[in-house]
Structure 1
Amino acid sequence: MGQLIYDSEDRPIVLDDRTLAHLKVVLTTKLRRQEGFTLSWRHPATQPRGRSTIWLHPSIPLQFVFDEPEPPELNQQWIQSLMESANSTGGIALVDEVIEGPA
């Protein structure tokens, strides 16, 4: 499991490496453009039921920590879905990856 460490928080956001790798692409793209936005996610089963939202801004420190040494192959459709969410008024809603089979 990877970690998204936001503003040097004592409680990192724990995500699987694959999700974190895709999210990294979207977050760094938005922050490189100097855009602030929100990120929302549902709490995992290991935490009390609920959801959280954080405000992301280029001036706030952000660190991505991966367990796996090699990056996964990225799903461009998932990145596009996350980017569309990031560009909406509601910010990024962390959604599960959708893998389409052959047509």
Structure 2
Amino acid sequence: MGTIQYGTGDEIHIDDRALAHLKVVIATKLRRNESFTLSWKHPEGDPIGRSTIWLHPSIPLRFTFDEPEAPQLNTQWIQQLMQSASSSGGISLVDEVLDTPEL
């Protein structure tokens, strides 16, 4: 379980694989000097519910991963997250989109 440390707030716990994909999307948006929201459901063990934060290039941000090796990234999932990041609702952390072979 990785974490996002944002500003002076608490750590946000997110699965390492999902966090690796989010990092690409968040870094891309912030590099473009774009602000947006990030929403997620609380993981098991945390209080039930969901949260949203406003991400802005001027606020400190740190990604911490439990796994020492970066996973292979799924470009479809990154594209889906990028589309949601550009929407008025911001990024909603959704389950990974898996490639399925056509029959």
Amino acid at match of 2:30: L
For 1:8, the aligned partner's letter is T
**Partner residue of 2:24?**
25
SS at match of 2:63: strand
Contact 1:2 1:64 in 2 (8 A): yes
Query: What secondary structure is seen at the aligned counterpart in 2 of 1:98?
Result: coil
- Is structure 2 residue 73 aligned with structure 1 residue 74? yes
Identity across the alignment (%): 67
How big is each residue's C-alpha offset from its partner over 1:41-67, in whole Å with a ceiling of 9 and x where there is no partner? 111121121110000000000000011
Q: TM-score, normalised by structure 2?
A: 0.95
Consecutive unaligned residues of structure 1, counting only runs of 5 or more, are none
Q: Structure 2 stretches of 5 or more lacking a match?
A: none
| Alignment partner, residue 2 of structure 2 | 2
Q: Counterpart amino acid of 1:102?
A: P
Q: Determine whether 1:55 maps to 2:60.
A: no
CA distance in 1, matches of 2:8, 2:70: 23
Question: Helix, strand or coil: the match of 1:83?
Answer: helix
Equivalent residues of 1:8, 1:62 under 8 A apart? no
Question: Is contact 1:36–1:55 with CA below 8 Å preserved after alignment?
Answer: yes
The count of corresponding residues between Structure 1 and Structure 2 is: 102
> Cα RMSD over matched residues?
0.8
Contact 1:42 1:52 in 2 (8 A): yes
